[in-house]
Amino acid sequence: MSEIIISGSLESVKTQALAVSKVVQIRAAEGWPAFQSDEVWIYKTEMDNRVCPICAAWGREKTFSGDKIPIFFPDYDLDARNFIVYPRVHAHDPARFFNAPCRCKMTWQNPLECLERRLHKEKMSVIL
């Protein structure tokens, strides 16, 4: 990641450093909302003889941006701690799928790098 250069008068440097510190504190406390466009999620399904046609249609490893997950998979479950989404494709009509639960999952690719880019961008935005 690029470094942040703060320059100017002593007062200006202090103001900018405090602003950067505040951004870091806010994000440490609040984080970001899930499912933003800069996230890359990979959809993975079990490709065996028990996979349903809908899950199979999503393919072995299709990618989605985070903002698309709530649109395509409105019944998802999020395991935020492990950066996993369970799309729950069968949630509305499990009888169509032999009453079997959806075995698919989505994993967020490079979440820490993504969060670091977001934080850096926000820190740069408060530099005067």
Three-class HEC string of the chain: CCCCCCCCCHHHHHHHHHHHHHHHHHHHHHCCCCCCCCCEEEEECCCCCCCCHHHHHHCCEEEEEHHHHHHHCCCCEEEHHHCEEECCCCCCCHHHHCCCCCCCEEEEECHHHHHHHHHHHHHHHCCC
Q: Is residue 26 part of a domain?
A: no
Q: Is residue 77 part of a domain?
A: yes
How far from 121 is each of 10, 13, 76, 127, CA to CA, in Å?
A: 23, 18, 29, 10
Rounded Cα distance between 102 and 8, Å, is: 57
Q: Is residue 9 part of a domain?
A: no
Q: Is residue 44 part of a domain?
A: yes
What pLDDT is recorded for position 16? 93
Residues 51 and 68 sit within 8 Å (Cβ to Cβ): no
Rg (CA), the chain: 20
What pLDDT is recorded for position 52? 78
What pLDDT is recorded for position 98? 64
Q: Is residue 76 part of a domain?
A: yes
What pLDDT is recorded for position 91? 66
Find the domain containing 94 and state its range: 40-111
Q: Is residue 95 part of a domain?
A: yes
Question: What is the total count of domains within the chain?
Answer: 1
Which residue numbers in the chain have pLDDT < 70? 1, 59-61, 91-99, 128
What pLDDT is recorded for position 18? 95
What pLDDT is recorded for position 29? 96
Q: Is residue 103 part of a domain?
A: yes
Rounded Cα distance between 28 and 7, Å, is: 25
**Does the model's pTM come out above 0.85?**
no
Q: Bridge partners of 23?
A: none
Q: Is residue 14 part of a domain?
A: no
